[in-house]
Amino acid sequence: MPGPLIDLLWREHPDAPSTGSRGPRARHSLSDVVSRAMALADESGLGSLTMRSLAASLGVSPMSIYTHVTTRADLVVLMADAAHAGMPLPSFGRSGWRRRATRTAEANLALFLAHRWLLDVRDPRVALGPGTITKYDHELHIFDGTPLDDVQRDAALTFLLDFVASSAASRLESSSSFEPIWAQSAAGLQHYLADGFPLARRIGQAAGEHMGAPYSASQAWAFGLDRVLAGLAEIIEADEAHPGPHRYPRDDPARG
């Protein structure tokens, strides 16, 4: 029987319990199973991944998969942690926090584009894994040299990564498939908009001409990331100007 999820996540740690058994050696290791599951999810999405399809891909019986991992939910946690472990961590060097944040955002965007199924993983147990913790520890160093306290560092990193996830989802949902739809619908839409929505027509036309399309992922990314950095700078620079303990307004007892 597989051990607890925490032991499966940390199976490479020197202090992890031994997984050896007296039975015949399995054809595939747990790492093999996780890697193949990731490949299937990359190809067809997380929704299409089942224990049966995974077993068929590995050429084993479904029951063989359950000797490695107890549930599909546990498997998905292992997959997400493995994806985090495989993400190249950006070098920070002596760069300032803005450059570190930008490199981190770009690295996470690349991760989501390579493994779009990560956007569908909501299991909080992913945070327990070594790959995820290593990634988290590295990314917290974005704010080295700033006056942010520990709670603010965590909140600032979450703010940055939430933007990346949202941008990745929008980028993956938008594609050139809209172009034929627009070609077929533009004339009809103009007919229905002829007598109304002047602001939408004016701005939509200006934005569309500027981007060359109804939506530009690259322009949305650049604009949004600039706004995220500006928002973080407002907090960081305020704390630099007025050092000392910081409380979020919602945590101030005097505010009720």
The average pLDDT across 92-117 equals 97
The reply to whether 125 and 162 lie within a common domain is yes
In a domain, 220, yes or no: yes
Q: Are residues 109 and 223 located together in one domain of the fold?
A: yes
| Claim to verify: residue 75 and residue 101 sit in the same structural domain | no
Alpha carbon separation from 93 to 47, 89, 153, 233 (Å, rounded): 40, 12, 19, 20
Q: What is the pTM of this model?
A: 0.81
254 against 182, higher pLDDT: 182
Query: Would you say residue 255 lies in a domain?
Result: no
- Lowest average pLDDT, out of 140-149, 173-182, 207-216, goes to 207-216
Question: Does 56 fall in a domain?
Answer: yes
Q: What is the pLDDT of residue 3?
A: 85
| Angstrom distances, CA of residue 112 to CA of 87, 129, 204, 211 | 10, 18, 29, 24
Per-residue pLDDT, 27: 78
The distance between the two most distant Cα atoms of the chain, rounded to a whole number of Å, is: 79
Q: Number of C-alpha atoms within 13 angstroms, CB side, residue 33?
A: 30
Task: Give the structural domain span for 184.
Answer: 92-248
pLDDT in tens, 212-229: 455 577 888 999 999 999
Q: Tell me which of 68, 84, 100 is where a domain ends.
A: 84
* Measured distance CA(204)–CA(198) in Å, rounded: 10
pLDDT at 245: 52
Residues 78 and 107 in one domain: no
Is 198 domain-assigned? yes
- CB 181: neighbour CB atoms within 10 A? 10
Cα–Cα dist 140/136, whole Å: 6
Residues 208 and 150 in one domain: yes
Last residue of a domain, one of 67, 84, 101: 84
In a domain, 256, yes or no: no
The number of folded domains in the chain is: 2
Residue carrying the six token digits 């949202």: 166
Cα 97 from Cα 74, distance rounded (Å): 35
**Residue 215 is assigned to a structural domain of this protein:** yes
pLDDT at position 244 is 56
Question: Within 13 Å of residue 38, how many CA atoms lie on the same side as its CB?
Answer: 21
For residue 105, give the CATH number of its domain. Answer: 1.10.357.10
At 10-66, the pLDDT tens digits run: 999 999 987 554 445 567 899 999 999 999 999 999 999 999 999 999 999 999 999
On whether both 138 and 188 belong to a single domain, the answer is yes
Q: Which two tokens stand for residue 187?
A: 């004339």
Task: State whether 61 and 104 are in the same domain.
Answer: no
Whether 154 and 197 map to the same domain: the answer is: yes
Q: Are residues 59 and 175 in the same domain?
A: no
**Chain centre distance of CA 176:** 23
- Comparing 129-133, 164-168, 200-204, the range with the smallest average pLDDT is 200-204
Please provide the DSSP assignment of 204-234 as one string. HHHHHHHHTSS--HHHHHHHHHHHHHHHHHH
Final residue of a structural domain among 84, 113, 130: 84
Residue 138 to residue 5: CA distance in whole angstroms: 24
**Same-domain status, 114 and 188:** yes
State whether 115 and 77 are in the same domain. Answer: no
Q: Are 242 and 202 contained in the same domain?
A: yes
Q: Is residue 20 part of a domain?
A: no
The whole-number pLDDT of residue 238 equals: 83
Q: Kindly report the backbone phi and psi dihedral angles of residue 17, in degrees, each rounded to the nearest multiple of 5, phi listed first.
A: -60, 145
Query: Is pLDDT of 9 > 80?
Result: yes
Kindly report the average pLDDT of the chain as a whole number: 86
CATH of the domain at 68: 1.10.10.60
Determine, yes or no, domain membership for 128. Answer: yes
Question: How far is 45 from 120, CA to CA, in rounded Å?
Answer: 9
> For the chain, what percentages of helix, strand and coil (3-state, to nearest 5) are there?
70, 0, 30
